Amino acid sequence: MGETFPMIGGVSEYSYTKNSTYQKQASNAVKEMIDEAVVESLDAGSTSTKVSIADLGCSVGPNTFFTVQNLIEAVQKKRPSETLEFQVFFNDHSSNDFNTLFSTLPPERQYHAAAVPGSFHGRLFPRSSITVAHSSHALQWLSKQPQGAPNEGRVHNRGAPEDVVKSYSDQYEKDLSCFMRARAEEIVKGGVLVLVVPGTPDGVSHSDHPAGVMFSYFGHSLMELANEGVVDKEKIDKFNLPIYAPAMGEMKRVIENNGCFSIEKMELTDPMSKVDGPIDVANLIMHMRAGLEGIFSAHFGDSVVEKMFAKISDKAQEISHFFESGFSKSTQLLVVLKRK
Ligand SMILES: C[S@@+](CC[C@H](N)C(=O)[O-])C[C@H]1O[C@@H](n2cnc3c(N)ncnc32)[C@H](O)[C@@H]1O
Ligand SMILES: [Mg+2]
């Protein structure tokens, strides 16, 4: 499946474990909605007391542990009178730091844990074997860099030439179609698929997603380094960060084309609805670093990336002003699907 760029593993200052509270807060914002939707929609497995749950793109924890616990509680709510046994599959690329994941599993867990390495764009499980599958903050990763015209001084599709933007949306639709095809085979009839992804309202440019704004600062910072002779501009033009936040209609089209799932819920939500106060941009930069350092380093080298993050940090105040000036807040798409 090509190269993969895992979140920073371990438990150091820059690790995903220490820099994933935004994703946790964002998941918290939709926790009750997921809970309700699973209780309402789940219509599977009543003949077996074994329940299989999969978290796709789980990373290293701890967020995946909260997710899995919530899903288990929702299933128990649905089937209160039964003694259920839970099998949980933690999936990510094989380069993910599964050692950290397994050494930090909650000791009081009521499930059997297993890792399933590999890309969720392909098959991971036997046919009709999964009761509930979930994926949060992972499907925005494209399977490869979209290739279009040179992306003049940018690293993303924000403000990019039309054919760059189109190659992003084409790649996304291709990847999501593969994902849906695989899940359609694996999830049992009446089983549920929950997706939490960055998204944008129809009609709003998806590049105006807050992450897209951050990515344009990555581009500005690299261009400053190009002007200082630290990096080639051509290298920046060629690089397209393989991350995409779809419009709701785009997502819906792929699901409907797949045809195997009914849409139980599809809603844009505010990922920070349970958090008071303004965005802490310095902290946001640390979060982005935990997720993106690997892919930037592979293309630009460690020393350029170190300088790039220093430049972005210098712009923290400017970025804060930008976010304070009012911004579309409904940027998290929650999708709950039921296998027909
Ligand atoms: C930002 S982390 C999200 C982790 C966790 N789900 C959360 O909400 O905090 C995204 C994860 O998705 C994984 N990922 C991206 N593309 C993937 C693919 N094609 N197959 C499996 N995992 C993938 C990455 O390796 C990364 O660990
Ligand atoms: Mg990756």
Q: Which atom, in ligand 1's list, is nearest to the CA of 27?
A: 8
Q: What is the pLDDT of residue 59?
A: 94
Q: Which atom, in ligand 1's list, is nearest to the CA of 135?
A: 6
Note whether residue 198 is domain-resident.
yes
Please give the distance, rounded to the nearest whole angstrom, from the Cα atom of residue 60 to the centre of ligand 1: 9
Question: Total domain count for the chain?
Answer: 1
136 close to ligand 1 (CB < 6 Angstrom): yes
Q: What residues form DSSP beta bridges with 338?
A: 192, 262
Q: Are strands 332-339 and 261-269 parallel, antiparallel or unpaired?
A: antiparallel
Note whether residue 237 is domain-resident.
yes
For all residues of the chain together, what is the average pLDDT? 90
Mean of pLDDT values over 74-87: 93
Q: Are strands 50-56 and 130-136 parallel, antiparallel or unpaired?
A: parallel
Name the strands in the sheet holding 261-269, side by side, starting at the edge strand that comes first in the sequence. Answer: 111-117, 85-92, 50-56, 130-136, 187-198, 332-339, 261-269
299 close to ligand 1 (CB < 6 Angstrom): no
Note whether residue 3 is domain-resident.
no
pLDDT in tens, 262-273: 999 999 988 877
Note whether residue 269 is domain-resident.
yes
Q: Which atom, in ligand 1's list, is nearest to the CA of 58?
A: 6
pTM given for the model: 0.93
Return the closest-CA partner of residue 216 out of 313, 88, 312, 82: 312
Return the closest-CA partner of residue 335 out of 146, 210, 183, 152: 183
The complex scores an ipTM of: 0.96
Note whether residue 218 is domain-resident.
yes
Please give the distance, rounded to the nearest whole angstrom, from the Cα atom of residue 87 to the centre of ligand 1: 20
Q: What is the pLDDT of residue 327?
A: 67
pLDDT in tens, 27-45: 888 899 999 999 999 987 7
Please give the distance, rounded to the nearest whole angstrom, from the Cα atom of residue 141 to the centre of ligand 2: 7
Q: Which atom, in ligand 1's list, is nearest to the CA of 60?
A: 27
Whether residue 1 is predicted with pLDDT greater than 50 in this model: the reply is: no
58 close to ligand 1 (CB < 6 Angstrom): yes
Whether residue 2 is predicted with pLDDT greater than 60 in this model: the reply is: no
Return the closest-CA partner of residue 130 out of 74, 52, 203: 52
Q: Indicate which residue's Cα is closest to atom 27 of ligand 1.
A: 59
Range of the domain at 88: 21-339
- Model confidence band, residue 292 (pLDDT cutoffs 50, 70, 90): very high
Least distant ligand from the CA of 56: 1
Least distant ligand from the CA of 195: 1
Mean of pLDDT values over 38-59: 90
Whether residue 290 is predicted with pLDDT greater than 80 in this model: the reply is: yes
20 close to ligand 1 (CB < 6 Angstrom): yes
Instruction: Please report, for the domain that includes residue 237, its CATH number.
Output: 3.40.50.150
- Model confidence band, residue 256 (pLDDT cutoffs 50, 70, 90): very high
Note whether residue 322 is domain-resident.
yes
Q: Which atom, in ligand 1's list, is nearest to the CA of 24?
A: 9
pLDDT in tens, 115-135: 999 999 999 999 999 999 999
Above pLDDT 70, what percent of the chain? 96
Least distant ligand from the CA of 196: 1
Note whether residue 7 is domain-resident.
no
How far apart CA 76 and CA 38 sit, in angstroms, is 10
291 close to ligand 1 (CB < 6 Angstrom): yes
For the chain, state the CA radius of gyration: 20
Least distant ligand from the CA of 137: 1
In 8-102, at which residue ranges do the beta strands (DSSP E only) sit? Answer: 50-56, 85-92
Above pLDDT 90, what percent of the chain? 67
Please give the distance, rounded to the nearest whole angstrom, from the Cα atom of residue 62 to the centre of ligand 2: 18
How far apart CA 199 and CA 38 sit, in angstroms, is 21
Q: Which residue has the higher pLDDT, 254 or 329?
A: 254
Note whether residue 5 is domain-resident.
no
213 three-state secondary structure: helix
Cis peptide before 62 (omega within 30 of 0): yes
